[in-house]
Amino acid sequence: AYERLQSALCQEGLPPTLDCSAEPRTGFGPLDMTVCILGSPIPFLPVLLEGGTRCPGAMVLCLSPTWASRVPSESCPGAWSLLLSRGVSFKLGGHSALETFVPPRRANYVTGTFTPGDPEGGWVGELARDLDCPTGGSVPLAHRLEDTLVTRWVLAARANLPVPPTLAFVLGARGDLPAEPAVPGVRLVRLQDPQGQQSLVQQE
C-alpha cells in the first residue's frame, strides 16, 4: 500500500513521502484534529491532498492494521477509541510524511475502503467498528449500497425517485426486503427453489 501511494504521488507530479518515523511526533491531545483514512490510499488521494492544504497535518493515512489500535472509550461506555501509532500525514503542496506518534494519536473522524471484497476491507471494517467518533461508513453499509435491488427499492419507495424498470428474482426470504414491495418500476419474484421453476421465470 505504501508503494502504491508513492506511485500515485509520482503520477500526480508530487514529491515522494518523507520518512520521519525515526523522530516520533509528540504532544497530540484529545482535542487535536485527526481525520484518519484507513486502507487503500488511491480512492482518497484527492481528499488527502485537499485536507493537507486546508488543515496541514490533520489528515492521517493508515496503511496497515499494525499502525493502529483499539482501546475502550473513556467517554462512551461500550465503544472504542482508535489510536494511531503510525501514519502518513499530508501537508501543504502535496507534501506527505511517514510519522510515528508517541503517545498514540487519537482519531476524531474515521473513514476508509469499506468495499466488500476489497482485500483490505477486513481489517478496515474491524478497526472502524463501534468507535466513539464519527465514521464515514462501514462494511455492512457498503454491502447494502452495493445491492442494486435494495438501493433501487429505497430510492423508489422511500425517496419517490424513478428507477429503471427492474425485474428481480430472489431466493428465500431476503429479510432485508419487505414482504410486498409496492414500488413503481420494481417487480420482485421470490423463488423457493430455482430447480423446477423455469416456467415461472419464463412467465415473468
Q: Of 156, 153, 132, 136, whose CA–CA distance to 144 is shortest? A: 153
Quick one: average pLDDT of 105-129?
Answer: 82
**Dihedral of CA 96/27/109/83: which sign?**
positive
Local confidence band at 150 (pLDDT 50, 70, 90 cut-offs):
confident
Q: What was the pLDDT predicted at 12?
A: 92
**111 has a pLDDT exceeding 80:** yes
List, for residues 40-63, the tens digit of each pLDDT value: 888 899 999 999 999 999 999 999
Question: For the residues 138-150, what does the mean pLDDT come to?
Answer: 78
Give the confidence band of 195 by pLDDT, cuts at 50, 70, 90.
Answer: confident
Beta carbons of 83 and 105 less than 8 angstroms apart? yes
The residue ranking higher by pLDDT, 1 or 116, is 1
User: 13 in helix, strand or coil?
Assistant: coil
| Rg from Cα positions in the chain | 22
Going by C-alpha positions, the residue among 159, 153, 160 that lies closest to residue 187 is 153
Query: Cell 471494517 belongs to which residue?
Result: 125
Say if residue 121's pLDDT is above 60. Answer: no
Q: Supply 110's cell numbers.
A: 474515521
Q: What is the pLDDT of residue 109?
A: 95
pLDDT, residue 35, reads: 95
Nearest to 115, CA basis, from 44, 24, 192, 27: 44
Report which residue type is found at 13.
Answer: G
pLDDT at 27 over 80: yes
